[in-house]
Amino acid sequence: MERPAPDVEKIAEQMLKFANMGNESGVNNVILEGVPSVRGVREATFGYFPLALGREAATAVGQVEPDLDYESYLEKILAMEISPEVQALTPDNKRQRDHMERFTVPNLLPSHVITFGRSDGQEVVTLHMLIGISPRTALKEMQRTIKQELQRANFHKN
């Protein structure tokens, strides 16, 4: 039996909803680059969904403004690294993560999101992740899943 296609609009809404949550909602937000301001504009959002969207494996989903290059953002994510200072901010805690994902997965929320934007002419990159997930783990999971998605896409093209 074929599964229904995921609702792309709903997924995009859920990624933005997650990115706007704060610590009181169980989401840590770490600025990786730049300084955000009130006048900032979000350009791209990429979410990591563990075992969600009707898939047997995790998936990464991206939404980029129409006039921007989707693949350039994938390349940025794949090239990113987490500094020791940022990694030290939040450790991995499997119990906390499992507890939070019991809520997020059934509600079609990601476990982590990377947002790209512009603020006062400078790029701003923010990593949003559930408590219990370290910045390095969040980035590595996103990178691994993007690589798998790209390999799968290339396989299906041949």
CA-CA-CA-CA dihedral for 126, 28, 112, 145, to nearest 10: 80
What is the pLDDT of the chain when averaged over all its residues?
86
Tokens 């400078």, residue located: 122
Q: How far is CA 29 from the centre of its chain?
A: 11
Q: Are strands 112-119 and 27-33 parallel, antiparallel or unpaired?
A: unpaired
* Structure tokens, 1: 């039996």
- Residue 132 in this model has a pLDDT that exceeds 80: yes
pLDDT category of residue 71 using cuts at 50, 70 and 90: very high
Rounded CA gap, 57 and 79, in Å? 23
154: left (phi over 0), alpha (psi -120 to 50) or beta: alpha
Task: Of 25-39, 47-61, 89-103, give the range with the top mean pLDDT.
Answer: 89-103
Cβ neighbours around 51 below 10 Å, total: 13
pTM of this structure: 0.87
Rounded CA gap, 139 and 119, in Å? 22
pLDDT of 37 reads: 73
Distances (CA, A) of 151 to 32, 81, 96, 142, 155: 27, 21, 31, 14, 6
